[in-house]
Amino acid sequence: MRLLDGIRDPRDVRALEPGQLPELASEIRDFLVEKVSATGGHLGPNLGVVELTIALHRVFRSPDDVILWDTGHQAYVHKMLTGRAAEFDRLRQGGGLSGYPSRAESPHDVIENSHASTALAYADGIAKAWQISGDLGRRHVVAVIGDGALTGGMAWEALNNIAASDRPLVIVVNDNARSYSPTIGGLAHHLSTLRTTRGYERVMDWGKRVLHRTPIVGDPLYGALHGVKKGVKDMVSPQGMFEDLGLKYIGPVDGHDESELEFALALARDFEGPVIVHAITHKGHGYEPAENDEADRFHGVGVIDPGTGRPVGVSGPTWTGVFADELVQAGRHRDEVVAITAAMLGPTGLDRFAREFPERTFDVGIAEQHAVTSAAGMAYAGMHPVVALYATFLNRAFDQVLLDCALHRAGVTFVLDRAGVTGDDGASHNGMWDLSMLQVVPGLRIAAPRDEQTLREEFREALDVSDAPTVVRFPKGSLGPSMPAIRCENGLDVLAESGTPEVLLVAVGTFAGLAVDVVERLRAQGIGVKAVDPRWVKPVPSALIDAAASAHLVVTVEDGIRTGGVGSALANALQQAGVDVPIRVLGVPEMFLDHGKRADILATCGLTAQDVSRQIVETIARRSSERGSDTDAQASASLGE
């Protein structure tokens, strides 16, 4: 039997003999490749934290001790060691195991939000609360941060607060992006022990007090000694920046040497203050296809052949690919176009632009707020920045969009990939808030293309706007079929029509195909419907208000939160214009969505052609019944008179 098969919770990990741990690590890597290649997921990051996760669960007593994963996609091994290995056949599938920590799954999981750079602030809050309650010291707080998360400003805000206290807190920096030579062996043990003993701290404090009281030579001598110490540290190790903040530093430690990790983590656990443990790991470690992938070492994969690492099946053109091509074309014809992203050069398609225009491409790390305000500055200086992000990550920079871009009428184009329901990665990765969130930003314009042609056209139109921010949003994955309009009415694309329209169906973005299907379904029932795509959905086009005024019922369908979204904005615009027409707003309910396939989630939300058709029929029937009741009441009143 495999060692992994006997792991039901971390106590089983702690019960293993040290000599068994390399075998366990090997089994975990084989298991990861087997399971993730079948379901897709974050393979590379988890292959890189196998020994680190084993060491964490041997040194700390989860869930009594709290282990926080900053980028939760690297918690697969943590899930295995907390008794969930048997559930990996349904990883990231509806009703199955989440690809991120999930409180519903296990008491060992804490942070479900998988946006990076947040765990240190969370850890600081837990430590403060436990200090008040008296639990701190008996229980330990551990935050694992890495995979680029230290490029986020929020992480450094937290470090500043953590360092200003003496609360025990262990920060593990999982460094898989830089190639420091690990300092291991006896000398490293002595140095780490020296730095993390209270005796050392007392000696340093005593020396500082005595030297400061020594006339004439005391202060200069202390300054000289401290300067020599700091100079040597800065020359031989990367610890200086952390210790300058007041954080004790252990490392660098070989992140694939489990015994070294245990030693370092035990020192950090027993130190009575905040400690950094710096572990050097290699993303994709132990899996040759990932190690040979210099781009991202299999950070995230779809279904792949486990032997070769190659994708299974060939997908067609993608939304991201079309945008990437259009951006390069724009760069060739417009010198003012520059590209900005936040640690997502490849996933957002900017890598193509970067290869051709490296001097006009800026990856700022996981720092969306900085990306947006930097873009505003570039717009002021005559450039037209294109900020490409996943839609969910723009949530982090709303203030900057509002006050740095819109207030200053900056000509910045935001390209939001993975907009709407994305599915597999769960609640925090659905890009379903942008249409509602951005509705309140004065002057901002939003385009929602429905196919390849409209994506190209609307992106070009966005680049022509120089006095306000623009947004172009599109979903994850492959492009659907072309959706040509049958005609254009005052800027509205008419997609399909049946009979004498009494229903105006407004389709936002990729719901154009659904709208055409609905028209055909209702045609068979003798209901006249006209489906339109406004293309630009903010501000509400005047042509859309005019079209609504001649309808008996308006229905909007959007791939975003229906509260405050496009449908809500249209309802408000109709009211302001004095247009009295009933409107039915269909979209994602105001709730966090469980992970699953996009089609399944949309069906759960009632966003299928069948559901929309049924709701239209029911609304028409109800209104007819209400009108009939009103007529009967009026007739009865007349007879009574």
Just list the catalytic residues. Answer: 283, 368, 396
* Residue 587 · residue 536 · CB < 8 Å: no
Q: Which residues, 6 or more positions from 31, have their beta carbon under 8 angstroms from its beta carbon?
A: 4, 80, 85, 88
* Residue 374 · residue 340 · CB < 8 Å: yes
Structure tokens at 582: 């009933």
* Residue 261 · residue 55 · CB < 8 Å: yes
Tell me the residue length of the chain: 641
Q: Rounded to whole angstroms, how far apart are CA atoms 180 and 97?
A: 35
Q: How many CB atoms lie within 10 A of CB 449?
A: 25
* Residue 508 · residue 559 · CB < 8 Å: yes
Reported as type and span, the H/E element at residue 536 is strand 536-538
- Give me the DSSP letters along 131-177: HHHT-BTTB-EEEEEETTGGGSHHHHHHHHHHHTS---EEEEEEE-S
Tokens 């939300």 identify what position?
A: 605
Q: How many CB atoms lie within 10 A of CB 304?
A: 20
Half-sphere exposure of 237 (CA within 13 A, CB side): 21
Report residue 444: phi and psi, to 5°. -70, 145
Q: Rounded to whole angstroms, how far apart are CA atoms 220 and 217?
A: 6
Q: Which residues, 6 or more positions from 465, have their beta carbon under 8 angstroms from its beta carbon?
A: 411, 413, 445
Q: In what order do the strands lie in the sheet with 274-280?
A: 66-69, 141-146, 169-175, 274-280, 248-254
Nearest to 414 by CA among 434, 439, 435, 387: 387
Residue type, 277: V
Tokens 């918690």 identify what position?
A: 75
201-236 b/e (C-beta count within 10 Å ≥ 16 → b):
eeeeeeeeeebeeeeeeeeeebeeeeeeeeeeeeee
Return the HEC string of 590-606: CCCCCCCCHHHHHHHCC
3-state secondary structure of 126: helix
Residue type, 391: A
* Residue 173 · residue 279 · CB < 8 Å: yes
Reported as type and span, the H/E element at residue 492 is strand 492-498
CA 267 to chain centre: 33
DSSP state of 365: -
Contacts for 180-185: CB closer than 8 Å, 24+ residues apart: 180/238, 180/252, 180/278, 180/280, 181/252, 182/251, 182/252, 182/253, 182/254, 182/257, 182/260, 182/280, 183/237, 183/251, 183/252, 183/253, 184/253, 184/254, 184/257, 184/260
Angstrom CA distances, 124 to 65, 78, 121, 162, 279, stand at 14, 21, 5, 6, 21
